């Protein structure tokens, strides 16, 4: 695992919910924050574990998911650097309903619930910012349900490939995309089987829309491939 030293208050200050806090406020939160350096494959918490705070990812990648009674794993969300997770359950005093596992060597911060409760008592505006963040996440989950219900497997894959494309980029220029994690994890996130995900990539390649080179995908015809989403 790489050695990356961070200043906790600086990282906290860049999280959307803490951006307007004064230095003294950030220092108090930092005192209730613990660094976790975890290797790839390490489980951060299991479903059913008590939730006594929330996490913010500094570097690495974390998947949130659950395992069905039949033993099949479903990935609910993939957490990237700068994102946080676990806030909602922290406020309900309920155990985790998903597990969290590192997909890469990761550094994250755990912010203690008692510390957040004290800061909300001190400044209720923090609660409004946290609610705003949770509302955005809920909106994202609703979009996921809509995609699973109304979009085909091919549309879900194309939407995933195009999700981070700069809206100001030349819409006709070929694009190179590096898949951030294993194809099986992405497939589960899109509510597809790995076989279905691979089949969609093959079909897009046969149509001359993409080229697949391992984890790198080149979109050859962005205009045509966007047409599948309408």
Question: Is 70 exceeded by the pLDDT of residue 125?
Answer: yes
Specify the pLDDT at position 210. Answer: 93
Are residues 142 and 96 both part of a single domain? yes
3 occurs within a structural domain: no
Could you tell me where the beta strands, DSSP code E, fall in the chain?
33-38, 43-45, 53-59, 62-67, 73-79, 84-85, 99-102, 106-112, 175-178, 210-213, 216-219
Question: Is 60 exceeded by the pLDDT of residue 48?
Answer: yes
131 occurs within a structural domain: yes
CATH code assigned at 198: 1.10.10.10
Kindly report, residue by residue over 141-166, the tens digit of the pLDDT: 777 777 777 789 999 999 889 887 77
Calculate mean pLDDT across residues 57-80. 92
Which pair of tokens denotes residue 34? 């613990």
Specify the pLDDT at position 6. Answer: 63
% the chain with pLDDT above 70: 96
Domain total of the chain: 2
Are residues 165 and 79 both part of a single domain? no
Kindly report, residue by residue over 74-120, the tens digit of the pLDDT: 999 999 999 999 988 888 889 999 999 999 999 999 999 999 999 88
Specify the pLDDT at position 19. Answer: 80
Domain that holds residue 111: 8-150
Are residues 144 and 80 both part of a single domain? yes
38 occurs within a structural domain: yes
71 occurs within a structural domain: yes
Calculate mean pLDDT across residues 176-181. 89
Are residues 157 and 130 both part of a single domain? no
Q: What is the pTM of this model?
A: 0.78
Are residues 170 and 210 both part of a single domain? yes
Specify the pLDDT at position 3. Answer: 44
Are residues 23 and 132 both part of a single domain? yes
The residue ranking higher by pLDDT, 116 or 172, is: 116
With a CB cutoff of 8 Å and minimum separation 6, the contacts of 115 are 28, 29, 31, 32, 33, 53
């Amino acid at each position: 695992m790489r050695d990356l030293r961070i200043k906790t208050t600086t990282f906290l200050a860049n999280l959307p919910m803490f951006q307007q806090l004064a230095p003294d406020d950030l220092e108090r939160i930092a005192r209730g924050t613990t660094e976790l350096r975890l290797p790839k494959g390490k489980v951060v918490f299991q479903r059913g574990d008590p939730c006594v705070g929330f996490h913010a990812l500094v570097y690495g990648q974390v998947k949130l998911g659950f395992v069905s009674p039949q033993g099949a794993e479903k990935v609910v969300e993939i957490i990237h650097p700068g994102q946080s997770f676990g806030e909602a359950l922290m406020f309900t005093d309920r155990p985790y309903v998903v597990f969290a596992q590192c997909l890469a060597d990761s550094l994250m911060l755990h912010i203690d619930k008692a510390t957040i409760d004290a800061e909300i008592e001190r400044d209720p505006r923090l609660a409004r910012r946290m609610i705003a963040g949770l509302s955005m996440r809920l909106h994202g989950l609703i979009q996921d349900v809509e995609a699973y219900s109304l979009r085909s497997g091919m549309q879900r894959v194309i939407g995933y490939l195009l999700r981070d494309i700069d809206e100001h980029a030349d819409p006709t220029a070929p694009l190179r995309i590096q898949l951030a994690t294993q194809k099986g994890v992405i497939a589960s996130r899109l509510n597809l089987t790995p076989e279905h995900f691979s089949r969609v990539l093959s079909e897009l390649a046969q149509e001359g829309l993409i080229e697949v080179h391992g984890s790198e995908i080149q979109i050859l015809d962005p205009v045509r491939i966007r047409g599948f989403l309408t």
